[in-house]
A and B are shown apart, each in its own frame.
Chain A
Amino acid sequence: MTDAVSDVVHSNREPQTSPMASPRYLQPDLVVVNLCIASRKRLLEQFAELIATNATTCYSENNENVPDSEQIFTTLHDRERLGSTALGKGIALPHGRIAGLSQPVIAIAKLANPVDYDSPDGMPVWLAVCLLVPAEANQGHLNLLATLAAKFDDDDFVREVKETVSTTEIYNLFSDI
């Protein structure tokens, strides 16, 4: 959270590495569609449970402090308190740093019914992309957030995601992360 770090996050709005070269942080089993929840709190809770149960490969092997869903939920919730992670257009990017992670984890949820998210344009959120990075995240990890945000600048891409109905298709749409 130092000045220097967040500064670079911003100056690198464009993806730094070519899609082929970067490792995939999004796992197929961390994409859900038609998620039925009625609030931001439940959405963050669902992400926390999804990641805690399915993303075990992302935790460093020797670390005994594998975060549980409660830790992830608290991190995501605390971040929202400092300012909503809603981008507008009905999209949110909840994120946070988690001790015990060895590499970033990304999860995507498309909601059955949009939820209030305190967004800048007042639009309820129908798509959330959750990004967790290690506590000692490197610059590449932190740039992921700006990369994700930049993807949604493209209205055609947003439309494509909105029309998609299956988890595989969504997974493929985010093939560069």
Chain B
Amino acid sequence: MKITILGGGQVGASIAEILSREKNDITVVDHNRKILDTLQDRMDIRTVHGAASSPEVLKQAGVDDVDLILAVTNSDEVNMVACQVAHTLFHTPTKIARVRSSDYLAHPELFCKKAIPIDVIISPEQILNHQIQRLIEYPGALQVIDFADGKIQLVALKAYYGGALVGHELKDLKDHLPSVKTRVAAIYRQDRAIIPTGKTVIEVDDEVFFIATHEDIKKVMQELRSIEESGKKIMIAGAGNIGFRLAQSLENSGYQVKLIERDPQRARWVSEQLKDTIVLQGDAADEELLRQENIDKMELFCSLTNEDEANILSAMLAKRLGARRAMAIVNRVAYIELIESSVLDIAISPRLSTVSALLSHVRRGDVVAAHSLRRGVAEAIESVAHGDSKTSKIVGRKLADIKLPNGATIGAIMRKDELISLEDDAVIEDGDHIIIFVIDKLKIPDVEKLFQVSVTFF
């Protein structure tokens, strides 16, 4: 596919790297020549220097020939105008833009063909907010990802002593939970992926990815670790947009929230907006403050400021002072690898989340959702099967007969809102939503091919 990426910042660069490795034809536009030079040293892409919304620059970047543009410059306005220019002058079929300001996002009617023609809006804050809320909803989960419109979830968690299935073969899960349709899609043991079979024995410390419906997730989680009570007390550090929005959603769902903000003016403004949240003005790394505010009674401590280091340190401190779990926003992937699971419970990367959100729209085929996992090494894809036994490589075939690429497993099949049991003789039908877990990103083009219909499909 020919793709133009506007903006070579963190998100633009990450997505360019992923897509150029998958043999796409990538052009990156940025007004900073230095950034473009660095990118070009690292990857096989074309770069164009100039303003991302300029018709002349876009023409030079070859937008007339591309299937897709991704507008991810730092400016919402530039992203929006660039999509308008691409639409009007070049009829670009798919236009995706990052829009941060909640001011614009509050008016979805702005984003249509007749107004600002953007097909998909990526809002990092909304994505993070949703992601953190899901993690709070399922204490103990390392990652919770929605598929099939939120009807099912892919959950990652660590197996601990006390889980009924730990030390047992996976096939025992069916005896433990006869009424629950679930499938373990992948297991990571000491950072190595294992493709699970019925005979795989779950060990302590395994990172297990499973798929189940919303109602069944807690039952499955209890098989893998002892029951955790989800406390209602949460402390948030940083009342930026993310922290403020999270506090707002949490207080509406009945949590008791304490929010720490360093800047007195912001703290006052936030306290006026929030109803039940206790807003504290101070430093989240202040041991005295944390103790006074009963950090040891907190179910969760979330540090959500803009600074990686501050987030990591205050979360570490909170954890040492007795907070049950600690979560931090961390942009640098290298830091995430250092701290996750050893120092902190969960590190969330806004960059990886945004890239992951963009992915589903650049995948070939009728892909409904795609999520990058394990810091971008693995991916889970929800794709719709089309055609029949003649035009499709999967429709009309039994699961046992489908040749999946190595390292790919079928995690779930949704047929008309029902989860299908994954028996070997289950046959895939036209319109089924299939969730595939891919442990090795290099296999993704093969998975895409599997879903592609043949030429004669109408």
The contact string, 1 if C-beta is below 8 Å from chain B, for chain A 63-86, is 000000010011001000111111
Q: Which of B384-425 contact A (CB under 8 A)?
A: 386-391, 396
Chain B residues with CB below 8 A from A81, complex form: 364-366
Residues of B within 8 A of A40 (CB): 2, 67
B430 pairs with A42, CB closer than 8 A: no
For the A-B complex, the count of residue pairs with Cβ-Cβ distances under 8 Å equals 89
Alpha-carbon gap, A37 to B67, bound state (A): 14
Whether the pair B458, A6 counts as a contact (CB closer than 8 A) is yes
Task: Flag whether A153 is at the interface (Cβ < 8 A).
Answer: no
B452 nearest in chain A by CB position: A83
Q: How far is the CA of A73 from the CA of B390 in the complex (A)?
A: 26
Partner of B365, one of A10, A82, A96: A82
In the complex, chain A residues whose CB is within 8 Å of the CB of B2: 39-41, 116
- Which chain A residue has the least Cβ–Cβ distance from B65? A39
- For B458, what are the chain A residues with a Cβ–Cβ distance below 8 Å? 1, 5-6, 9, 95-97, 133, 137, 142, 145
B interface residues, how many (CB within 8 angstroms): 30
Give Cα A86 to B455, complex, Å: 7
- Provide the main secondary structure of the chain A interface: helix
From residue B7, how far is it (CB to closest CB) to chain A in Å? 21
Q: Does B162 contact A (CB under 8 A)?
A: no
Contact residues in B for A137 (Cβ distance below 8 Å): 458
Residue among B65, B451, B453 with the highest chain A CB neighbour number at 10 A = B65
Which B407-458 residues have a C-beta within 8 angstroms of A? 430, 451-458
What are 16 A-B contacts defined by CB distance under 8 Å? A1-B386, A2-B430, A3-B430, A6-B387, A7-B389, A39-B65, A41-B2, A41-B65, A45-B91, A82-B457, A83-B452, A83-B457, A93-B455, A95-B458, A133-B458, A145-B458
Point out residues on B near A: beta carbons under 8 Å. Answer: 1-2, 25, 62, 64-67, 91-93, 364-366, 386-391, 396, 430, 451-458
For the A-B complex with A5-B458, A41-B2 known, give 9 more contacts whose Cβ atoms are closer than 8 Å.
A1-B387, A3-B396, A40-B2, A41-B93, A74-B93, A84-B452, A84-B455, A145-B455, A146-B456
Residues of A within 8 A of B (CB): 1-3, 5-7, 9-10, 38-42, 45, 70, 73-74, 77, 81-87, 93, 95-97, 116, 118, 133, 137, 142, 145-146, 149
